[in-house]
Chains A and B, each alone.
Chain A
Amino acid sequence: MELDRREFAQMMFGGMTLAGLTSFGLPAEAAASAGTVLKQADAIRNPQTSFAVYVKLTNYVRGKVREQTSVTTYSRPTGGQFNTLVHINAPSADRGKILLRNGNILWLYDPASKASVRISPRQRLLGNASNGDVVSSNLVGDYRAKLAGTEAIVDGEKKTRDCHKLQLTQAAKSAPYSSVEFWVDQASSQPVKGKYYTNSGKLIKVAWYRKARNQMGASRPTEIVIADGFDPNKVTVMQMGNYRAKDIPQSWFNKEWLPNFKA
């Protein structure tokens, strides 16, 4: 229901807000720069072509490993965003299950019953990582970006880095968070850290992007440490590896195709 209000407000005031950014004194070049910085960070977070990547998620509670999941995600760019299939490799109880994301459409497919269940973006499948974390997505398009200055912050490897600080506000209904504070390395455009907020302004999670490695032609973070904003004892580590270009037909991103999917 809240989204209704949000969508309504966005419909009514979205254009005014964008126009207002310049009329209220934010330099046009700064607004453009915010978009450019975010776009560069997006291009580092995800290859902007069809690709597959192996992802391992480890959940910690009070420092103990509580849960591990490994998935392979298959992503295909479409209209500035990605369609994604997340194939679960482990644990064995979930092996073969598939999460399909096509815009705001999310399906969970179970190979044992050949059943697909429509789920909401809010429903979590993989520990502290939300569906939105696991599927590939660009922040550009989902959020309006505004430069909020520069800041020296401690990165995921506990080194101090000079960063652009971006203030992102939700622009698309498929965006999983209401707002995001996002830090991007000034020198390399590497994403460094993100703080993600709900509609009510509550901090829901903090993510550190680290361990940059060369993958598919770019130096990309291969590990994301996600701390739960509600309970700091809960931490999820996403490790990404074996990025590879893969031609993925559009037909795969249809729930009726899922029984035909072969990993």
Chain B
Amino acid sequence: MRRVVITGAGTVNALGTDVAATMEAMREGRSGIGPLDLPDADRLTIRIGAQVRGHDPAAHFDRQRIAMLDRYAQFALMAAGQAVAQAGLTFDGALADRSGVILGTSGGGLITQDDSYREVYAHGKNRVHPFVVPRLMNSAAAAQIAMAHNLMGPSFTVSSACASSNHAIAQAVQMIRTGMAPVMLTGGAEAMLCFGGVKAWEGLRVMSNDTCRPFCATRSGMVQGEGAGVFVLEERDHARARGAEILAEIAGVAMTSDAFDIVMPSQRGAERAMARALADAGLDAGDVAYVNAHGTATAANDRIESAAIGRVFGARTDGLMVSSTKSMHGHCIGATGAIELLACIMALRDGVVAPTANFVAPDPECPLDVVPNKARQARVTACLSNAFAFGGMNAVLALRAV
């Protein structure tokens, strides 16, 4: 079977506008969560989030392009540009013909929708910007990346709420494995921190108003983030033949559905996803030193995810490091799995395991080594990255060091 490696990575999120800055924040256990700065924030009950601060579109795109780009697509393009630059690839000829992009997102151009609805409903206008549709499409960011990098193979968007990125990455892996594409750009992008995007979430009563404390006894819920993570995935022999630097191998992927509840997670669904990712990668539980958890800091997710990890890893749970970097970059919804993959790459390449920040006290219902507050040096040769979405749609990636 063809093997799939990562040869480029890019990101924009609350911790930084590139991979180096993001990893530095993760090493320091620094959280990007703070007061939300957005229109009508005074009418929100939940007023914190992990925002990308100081983002200036004009520093990255010219006027004509900005008119076509929602914030989520801007993040996606910036991350993709970094990833392609690192990979050192130029897409032309047969490579361009067959390479593509599969991106995860949940809200797509939600800020464009929010702004446009405000104009017509709140301000009584009878006209919106002519490019509302090309900006808000859930496929817009993938299309913009394809245009920017001349990717003419399979390109589309995957949407499975909080597992969108991992589902997208799993699709890209499968396409390279089958030989459909030699190189795929993949990951996710989300920009949901607008009045409507936060208002919708606060209605569910699962959001924290102080900070995100995954697996902590005093955890009080989710905190939203935003951003993008994009990776260049490449068939291993293709990468080796051109002497590319390989960041890590995506050795296994698995996708399961709970077929249970639209918001409540199921332990069994999470177990099945983790176990199948291990099997797909040819890994035993004992090979894995680190799990980047879904770890949303809701009461339900963290309890159930902990139980699922305990079942899958059994006696190997002792000595297993499990952290949730959502404590730092927030829950970036459709982009979160991609941003969290950076913590996996850091563990595999640099031997640094990102911590669970904001941790105060252990919860007996989450009996795991959650790497509280301080990053840890450790030799990690394989790790898992979990994503368990509303709707019970789970996608787990298994990574191996090279």
- Whether both chains belong to one complex is answered with no
- Residues of B that sit less than 8 Å from A by CB: none
